[in-house]
Structure 1
């Protein structure tokens, strides 16, 4: 496999490492963790689209934040992955907004034009759909994301 294949695996491995680092840093911080009522599983995008899953992470012990982005096709095959770390303190909602920004920029850079973006931040998703007002700390980031959305066909 060429250099592109190895680089993709490296990016994916780094993204997964960030997720594991986040989980390890936050283990045991809550007394009771509720089990999800429904199993959480990836769902394919609408036919002809790509799914861009993204998540923000806060590493409070190192005063850093990060994001992981995975772009998959309709069959679930990974097209591209990104992990990113910021050397600054961000709150959870700010990290989610920055992760969305990174995901939109990354999808655009990869050449994706038909995409569905998926985040686990209800507040960010609602704000983008006009269903709520985001905190002032993320308004500029979300405004920028909305401007970038014009780059996508759908």
Structure 2
């Protein structure tokens, strides 16, 4: 409750500049969040979305893989429990490895491997093997990619990777692997 007789001042008391006073955010400081939408791969390609989840209380992780064609149809999906603990980055790298092997086993030869870990996707796509904890997994993944006629990696935010994320979380409910 404001007491009678109290005066309030804004700005420097003689001029109020609504858009330039520092105590009010200006339009340039507003952050807008544009949702990331999943997009299908180009004609003739397949997109393999991958994700990993960590279940600390069980000492396990989950892997989720969803493979799509250029018509946005699911060609295959996988949810797998790994009965050992990994960190989040390791789980995402392991998901990428399982995703690329699953794509090969489905007979696909032009793939885009997409995940929501920029570190993992960059390590696979570049000469830099990434952090030491995922270097062996990245090396294993890179041993698979020459088998494909064409391949790319793609980073997406979690919103663009929802299907693989849900499959990774679903792994908590299964004993080994569901395809």
Give the alignment's TM-score, normalised by structure 1: 0.74
- Alpha-carbon distance in structure 1 between the residues aligned to 2:67 and 2:129: 28
Structure 2 residue aligned with 1:38: 34
Matched residues in 1 for 2:84 and 2:78: separation?
A: 19
- Preserved contact between residue 119 and residue 130 of structure 2 (Cα < 8 Å): yes
CA distance in 2, matches of 1:133, 1:37: 31
**Structure 2: 5+ residue stretches without partners:** 1-31, 151-179
Instruction: Tell which has more relative contact order, 1 or 2 (C-alpha 8 A, sep 6+).
Output: 2
More helix by share: 1
Whose radius of gyration is greater, 1 or 2?
Answer: 2
Distance in structure 1 (CA, Å) of the matches to 2:112 and 2:83:
29
Distance (Å, rounded) in 1 between the aligned partners of 2:42 and 2:127: 23
Q: How does 1:103-142 map to 2 (within 5 A)?
A: 103-130=99-126, 132-142=128-138
Partners of 1:121 and 1:128 in 2: how far apart?
Answer: 11
Distance 2:124 2:76 in 1: 24
The correspondence of residues 1-154 of structure 1 with structure 2, limited to 5 A, is: 37-130=33-126, 132-154=128-150
Q: Distance in 1 between matches of 2:66 and 2:52?
A: 12
User: What 5-or-longer segments of structure 1 have no aligned partner?
Assistant: 1-35
**Separation in 2 of the partners of 1:129 and 1:79?**
24
**SS of 1:61's equivalent?**
helix
- Deviation at 1:129? 2.1
